[in-house]
């Protein structure tokens, strides 16, 4: 998981609450991604960012928001509009722009549970 940290490791949310998941990388990577992992479904792309102050919706962006104010940080907010937020959330980064063919590096993940 080296170089990418996610916190907290476990997070519990009550109905109607917004929560923010942290993702920090010290790899000097330009592009960062958020994925959601559900059992038996693989990973699905929530949001991605190619450069600072720019981000784009992925395949399942509804109920989520992000910011990219610093190159090393890409926090994800799970809003109360997300109807089924219980999942394992993974942050990833890759060097260069998204036009490169480098592999993505993943953080250790945050497991979010709605109470």
Q: What is the binding site for other proteins (CB under 8 A)?
A: 1, 4, 6, 33, 40-45, 48, 56, 58, 88, 90, 92, 98-101, 103-109, 111
C-beta of 9 vs 15, nearer to other proteins: 9
Got the DSSP string for the chain? -TTEEEE-SEEEE-TT--EEEEEEE-S--SEEEEEEE-TTS-EEEEEEESSTT--EE-TT-TTEEE--SBTTB--EEE-TT-S---EEEEEEEESS-TTS-PPPEE---EEEEE-
C-beta of 85 vs 107, nearer to other proteins: 107
Cβ of residue 78: shortest distance to other proteins, in angstroms? Answer: 18
Phi, then psi, of 54 in degrees rounded to 5: -140, 135
C-beta of 19 vs 92, nearer to other proteins: 92
Please tell me the number of Cα atoms within 13 Å of 113 on its side-chain side: 5
Cβ of residue 80: shortest distance to other proteins, in angstroms? Answer: 26
Cβ of residue 73: shortest distance to other proteins, in angstroms? Answer: 17
C-beta of 80 vs 106, nearer to other proteins: 106
Cβ of residue 111: shortest distance to other proteins, in angstroms? Answer: 7
């Amino acid at each position: 998981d080296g170089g990418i940290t996610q916190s907290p490791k476990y997070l519990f949310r009550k109905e109607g609450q917004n929560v923010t998941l942290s993702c920090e990388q010290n790899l000097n990577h330009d592009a960062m991604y958020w994925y959601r992992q559900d059992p038996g479904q693989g990973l699905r792309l929530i949001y991605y960012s190619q450069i600072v102050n720019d981000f784009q919706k992925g395949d399942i962006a509804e109920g989520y928001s992000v910011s990219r104010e610093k190159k090393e940080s890409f926090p994800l907010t799970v809003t109360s509009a997300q109807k089924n937020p219980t999942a394992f959330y993974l942050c990833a980064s890759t060097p260069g722009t998204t036009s490169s063919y480098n592999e993505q590096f993943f953080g250790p993940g945050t497991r979010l549970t709605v109470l």
